Structure 1
Amino acid sequence: MYSYGIGTNLKRLRSKTKYSSQDIADLLEVDRNTYSNWENEATDIKSQYIPKLADIFNVKIQDLFDTEQKFQINNF
């Protein structure tokens, strides 16, 4: 089975929402390039942003790391 990284999961979650990468970056108060680097797995996400990302996408923190892609997005 193909193993997804958090960057892939962020891309998939964002594609299922109305958000652009700039929108997510603005919500996190980070530069768009920083967020893009997380999606592309070029840099690691600082742990302080993990709960915020889960809140933005309305998923559990574990869902950000889930390799099964079974999470559901609510309220979109």
Structure 2
Amino acid sequence: MDLRTSLGKRLRTLRAKWGYTQQDISSILQIDRSTYAYYETSRSTPPLSTLKKLADVYHVSLSDLFGNEEAPPQFSDSAPGVFADLDHNKSHIYDLCPEERQLIAMYRLANQETRGKIMELLHTKNS
């Protein structure tokens, strides 16, 4: 499998994993949906700037976008069940509405200054 095909399959897999539609991702990247569809079907390759944004949105490294994902290290706690409540209550991004998923993706693309302003705004609105 060539690099472009590998990238296309990986983009499709990551998008499905996070519960995004092609339209969601194209809106976040501010490109046409058909352009993003071409990336997934390996008809074209995204520029490096777009690859960086996709890595941020999907919360992976650039290397991971090309399928070079190594298994993460496994950690265990000597007291099983310590984090059982956290596992029970955790939510997944695919449980969120489209606006919430888009907000998370756009937050991941923001620089540190913008992230700080967002957090400040949210804290003042919730106080």
Structure 2 unaligned runs (5+)? 73-91, 94-127
Which position in structure 1 is the counterpart of 2:29? 28
Name which structure has the greater RCO, CA cutoff 8 Å, separation 6+: 1
Q: Secondary structure at the match of 2:46?
A: coil
TM-score (norm 1): 0.82
Offset at residue 70 of structure 1 (A) = 4.6
- TM-score norm. by structure 2 comes to 0.51
Larger Rg: 2
**3-state SS in 1 of match to 2:18:** coil
Distance 1:59 1:7 in 2: 15
Deviation per residue, 1:12-64 (Å, 9 max, x gap): 00111121000000000000000000000001111110110000001111100
Aligned ranges 1:9-24 → 2 under 5 Å: 9-24=10-25
RMSD between superposed Cα atoms in Å: 2.2
> Shift in Å at residue 71 of structure 1?
6.6
| Structure 1, unaligned runs of 5 or more | none
Higher helix share: 2
